[in-house]
Amino acid sequence: MSGIVIAVSRSTTHTFSKLNQDRIQLISGFGVEGDAHLGQTIKHRSRVAVDPTQPNLRQVHLIHGELHDELQAAGFSVLAGQMGENITTRGIDLLNLPTGTRLRLGDRAIVELTGLRNPCAQLDRFQAGLMAAVLDRDEQGKVIRKSGVMSIVVADGEVRPGDLIQVELPPAPHQPLDRV
């Protein structure tokens, strides 16, 4: 399995959207250099308020560009980085990869998937109805979260638009991604 990086983004402050960049630097164990969520412990403000010592399993947020296509077809205007992701991909079914999957991004950087992004009300403040558009239900009524995946950085490296992504599945048995 392989795909491509179509955009990279970061924000030095806790803004909802992140600005597209020519490149981002991933730092092992910390996240995206210069991003507000960089660190070994959790940086999401609501989670810091509960327990600031939690490990940061949300160092790098990835969204599949196919979600943007789906949202645009439904009448939304969403571009890479605007939903807070650091890396926008194409060609990989991120949501159906198992926990522990490693993605090699470009020549050196590697992230390991930790879980699904749990969408929040900020999506509706960005565009009315967007939160409902990134949630669905399967045949059994279980919630499907479509707003991307979270990961930790396991190998340093620079990531740029156009970089290839190689997928390395963890050993079986595979565990599905759950919200983190």
Report yes or no on 179 lying in a domain: no
Total of domains in the chain: 1
Domain-located, residue 163: yes
- Res. 1: pLDDT tops 80: no
Query: Does residue 55 fall inside a structural domain?
Result: yes
Distance of CA 108 to CAs 14, 28, 49, 56, 155, Å? 27, 11, 34, 21, 7
Q: State the sign of the Cα–Cα–Cα–Cα dihedral 180, 60, 142, 124.
A: positive
Q: Report yes or no on 177 lying in a domain.
A: no
pLDDT at position 121 over 90:
no
Residue 170 corresponds to which amino acid?
P
Output the domain CATH number for residue 85: 2.40.33.20
Its pTM stands at 0.95
pLDDT mean across residues, the chain: 95
- How is 44-107 classified by DSSP, letter by letter? -HHHHHH-TTSB-S-SEEEEEHHHHHHHHHTT----TTTTS-SEEEES--GGGSBTT-EEEETT
The candidate with the shortest Cα–Cα distance to 112, out of 79, 154, 83, 77, is 154
Reported as a pLDDT band with limits 50, 70 and 90, residue 123 is very high
- Tens of pLDDT, residue by residue over 21-56, are 999 999 999 999 999 999 999 887 777 788 889 999
**34-48, 52-66, 111-125: range with lowest mean pLDDT:** 34-48
Q: Is residue 178 part of a domain?
A: no
Would residue 174 count as lying in a domain? no
Let me know if residue 180 belongs to a domain: no
Token pair in block for residue 25: 């630097």
Among candidate residues 87, 86, 110, 114, the one with its CA nearest the CA of residue 168: 110
Report yes or no on 176 lying in a domain.
no
168 CB neighbour count, 10 Å cutoff: 12
The closest alpha carbon to 68, from 167, 148, 179, belongs to: 148
**pLDDT tens track for 83-92:** 999 999 999 9
What's the domain range around 34? Answer: 2-168
Per-residue pLDDT averaged across 167-178, rounded? 97
In the chain, what percentage of residues exceed pLDDT 70? 100
- Of 45-59, 120-134, 139-153, where does mean pLDDT reach its minimum? 45-59
